[in-house]
Amino acid sequence: MSIILKPIVTEKMTKITEKLGKVGFLVDVAANKVEIKKAVEEMYNVKVLDVNTLNHAGKRKARYTKAGFVQGRTNATKKAFVTLAKGETIDFYSSI
């Protein structure tokens, strides 16, 4: 459960899922493709053909406020796009 943080459920990802059979997840930054594949197959009982990952580095942010100059940084994230076998689907809305 610690490898997969949450699924990516957006309009764009829904269209990609319907057209190409790919599903997106936010995953742990230290996870590799083999661990992600194994976690998705165990959690959702589907056959995974391919895993593509994308690292998103955190950005520096700064702004001026009444209290003065405030600096910070956004978190680094990692996304995984999983290609499912023909006929396999994952229903994220079944437990709602």
Range of the domain at 68: 4-84
Examine residue 15 and state whether it is found in any structural domain, yes or no: yes
Q: How confident is the model at residue 1 (pLDDT cuts 50, 70, 90)?
A: low
pLDDT digits (tens, 9 = 90+) for 51-68: 999 999 999 999 999 999
Q: State the CATH number of the domain containing residue 57.
A: 3.30.70.330
Examine residue 94 and state whether it is found in any structural domain, yes or no: no
- Report pTM: 0.84
Examine residue 17 and state whether it is found in any structural domain, yes or no: yes
Residue 72 near residue 26 (C-beta atoms within 8 A)? no
Examine residue 46 and state whether it is found in any structural domain, yes or no: yes
Examine residue 34 and state whether it is found in any structural domain, yes or no: yes
Structural domain tally of the chain? 1
Going from the C-alpha of 22 to that of each of 18, 29, 35, 43, 44, the distances in angstroms are 8, 20, 17, 16, 14
Helix (H) or strand (E) holding 54: strand 48-56
- Interval 55-84 mean pLDDT: 95
CA neighbours closer than 13 Å in the CB half-sphere of residue 81: 12
Examine residue 64 and state whether it is found in any structural domain, yes or no: yes
How buried is residue 12: exposed, middle or buried, by Cβ count under 10 Å (0-12/13-18/19+)? exposed
Residue 68 near residue 60 (C-beta atoms within 8 A)? no
